[in-house]
Amino acid sequence: MKPTILLAVLVVVATLVLGPAQLRTGAQTGTPAATDQGFVGAWHLTTETPFGASQSLITLTADGTVIFTDRPVYPGGEGFPVTFISTAHGAWEQTGPTTAAATWVEFMTDGEGTFIGVITDSIEVTFDPASDSWSGPFSSTTTDPAGNLLFVGTGTVEARRITVQPLATPAATPAA
């Protein structure tokens, strides 16, 4: 049988087996808008600590998984080396109608790639549906690779949902 005839037969068989299913991509019709998902979604975090403000990203999935990205590099200073931070993974759970708790773990290395610590962060936050944001206290514990405590710190976190934005329009460039 010629390859083109074989391909045509396979397409017909697949159509009969699969039925009139539409082959498409994208969100399903029943997928709720991001603003209806409460804590589930991607968020831009601003944290306040005794060392100052910082920004990071976090995604809370419907199955209770956390993916967190901090600044990848922290400059050295006051006796600390330049450090590099991995993406973090963890778990979260809703603890009430508008409250949740989460914990995630990330790894820290120095500039030569030497493994120097494990950072474990935890939050207890309250969701504000009116502003589609959440906030609350956090704690951060750092241990060395053997599990010896190096640091414990606290602060506050505020999260704003990341939403789909329209394409940016480039500014007009002056004629040369």
pLDDT one digit per residue (tens) for the chain, 176 residues? 554 443 344 333 333 333 443 434 344 444 444 446 899 999 999 999 877 899 999 999 999 999 999 989 988 777 778 999 999 999 999 999 999 999 999 999 999 999 999 999 999 999 999 999 999 999 999 999 999 999 999 999 999 999 999 999 888 777 66
CA distances from 93 to 56, 98, 150, 152, 158 (A): 20, 11, 27, 23, 17
Q: Which residues of 126-141 are buried (b: 16+ CB within 10 A; e: fewer)?
A: ebeeeebbbbbebebe
Cα–Cα distance measured from residue 55 to residue 135, given in angstroms and rounded to the nearest whole number: 14
Neighbours of 121 (CB within 10 A): 24
* 3-state SS, residue 61: coil
The answer to whether the beta carbons of residues 141 and 117 sit under 8 Å apart is: no
Taken as a whole, the chain contains a residue count of 176
pLDDT at 176: 62
pLDDT at 18: 39
Q: What is the pLDDT of residues 8-56, one digit of tens each?
A: 443 333 333 334 434 343 444 444 444 468 999 999 999 998 778 999 9
